[in-house]
Amino acid sequence: MSNLRTRLRAVPTLTGKPPAFDPAQTPGEPHGLFVDWLTTAIDNGVPEPCATTLSTVDETGRPSGRILILKNVDERGWQFASSAGSRKGRELATHPLAALTFYWVPLGRQVRITGTATPADPAESLADLMARPPSARTQADWTLYTLDADEVEFWQADPDRNHLRLRYDRSSDGAWTKGLL
Ligand SMILES: Cc1cc2nc3c(=O)[nH]c(=O)nc-3n(C[C@H](O)[C@H](O)[C@H](O)COP(=O)(O)O)c2cc1C
């Protein structure tokens, strides 16, 4: 076991090639920049670019995370779908604050999104269920959720370790501010 630490240290990390990125040229809200980064990941053949970690907490504050698939992003927020009766579904029902974390390895890019998840209306959830392959339509309580973000951080690796972090914060009046960390 003592070898493991040495072995792990030898495993390369942040091996991706970050694209050109100028924080001064970014929009005032994070949604468009996220879609730009996501489509860049898709266009560059990043494996499973829509896979994301959803973090939730239960009523005692105990966290849990799992991977799921991003379904859409629009001005309302980031959409994902799951069974309302699952652990995450139960946790979101009692504690709707949640986070999504993306990591696109070949691009050296991470995005962290925090906000409030709300279930979509039943018609939208049903439409998402019907868009799944027939074998995956057996979920009785399939729900589409929208994460209405109030904090989004864009992180890009730098070969010299001056990693770039651009964070957007939404204030209670709905206005977004952004800044480099
Ligand atoms: C690549 C990948 C994609 C997944 N996509 C979804 C998804 O879109 N929705 C979902 O409910 N679970 C998805 N899962 C399964 C979840 O990770 C998780 O195991 C399951 O939803 C139960 O989580 P829970 O017990 O915390 O609620 C996916 C797993 C992987 C590895």
pLDDT of residue 57: 98
| Six token digits for residue 76 | 């309302």
For the range 1-6, what are the long-range contacts, defined as Cβ-Cβ under 8 Å and sequence gap of 24 or more? none
pLDDT of residue 80: 98
Residue closest via CA to ligand 1's atom 11 equals: 82
**May I ask the CATH class of domain 25-168?**
mainly beta
* For the chain, domain boundaries: 25-168
- The response to whether residue 136 sits with its C-beta less than 6 Å from ligand 1 reads no
Mutation to probe ligand 1, out of 67, 70, 92 (largest number of atoms < 8 A from CB): 67
Tell me the whole-structure pTM to 2 decimals: 0.95
pLDDT of residue 160: 84
pLDDT of residue 138: 76
- Look-up: residue for tokens 């489509």? 39
- The response to whether residue 88 sits with its C-beta less than 6 Å from ligand 1 reads yes
pLDDT of residue 136: 81
Distance CA 141, CA 5 (A): 44
Whether 28 and 168 have beta carbons less than 8 Å apart is answered as no
pLDDT of residue 161: 84
Rg (CA), the chain: 18
pLDDT of residue 1: 58
pLDDT along the chain (181 residues), means of 10: 89 94 96 98 98 97 98 96 97 98 98 97 88 81 97 94 95 96 96
pLDDT of residue 150: 98
